[in-house]
Amino acid sequence: MYNDFVNDPSQFERNNVLYHYPVNHERLRIGKFCSIACGAKFLFNCANHSLRSLSTYTFPLFYDEWELDKADVASAWDNKGDIVIGNDVWIGFEAVIMAGVHIGNGAIIGARAVVTKDVAPYTIVGGVPARAIRKRFDDATISRLESLRWWDWSKERIRRELPGIMRRE
């Protein structure tokens, strides 16, 4: 579910999935039953510049001008990989998820958090950069929830089990 009260939600990819160019072949994978608030952004590798070279300037993008090999254009940035959002994740208002980040099942990303590192399942993170605030449940419960994988159940079973799924602790 994506809520956008500023832009047309059907333009999610255009407005929220940024610097996602085909040269890297990276992907945004979003699990089932996720809630994404207005303004959340997913920044892919092309938003970054290489930190491993003397200069951060993107010379490889201007291969013709600098007589560089066009095949090396992706060396202008460090490729950190796909962005993977688990199942039942809540991403808060204007949160930013950086390239290569994996967010575990049941995690909550606070409003305006900038997520630069992986988030463990059922962990609440917030801040800039995002840091763990607390776990939603104890380790035994998290382990049980990860084993249950309720998001993979049939629609009929989910409907039957809604009282338990929606129960507040």
Q: Domain locations in the chain?
A: 9-136
Q: What is the pLDDT along the chain (169 residues), one digit of tens a residue?
A: 898 888 889 999 999 999 888 777 889 999 999 999 999 999 998 788 888 888 888 888 888 998 888 888 887 778 889 999 999 999 999 999 999 999 999 999 999 999 999 999 999 999 999 999 999 999 999 999 999 999 999 999 999 999 999 988 6
Q: Report the C-alpha gap between 150 and 144 in whole angstroms.
A: 11
Q: What is the CATH number of domain 9-136?
A: 2.160.10.10
d(CA 99, CA 80): 6
* 49 part of the active site: yes
Q: Give the pLDDT confidence score for residue 87 in this predicted structure.
A: 98
- Say if CB 116 and CB 134 are below 8 A apart: no
Q: Which residue among the candidates 20, 25, 49, 102 is catalytic per the annotation?
A: 49
Token look-up 């575990």 returns 104
What pLDDT is attached to residue 68?
87
Which residues are CB-contacts of 103 (< 8 A; sequence separation ≥ 6)? 84, 85, 86, 89, 91, 97, 109, 115, 118, 119
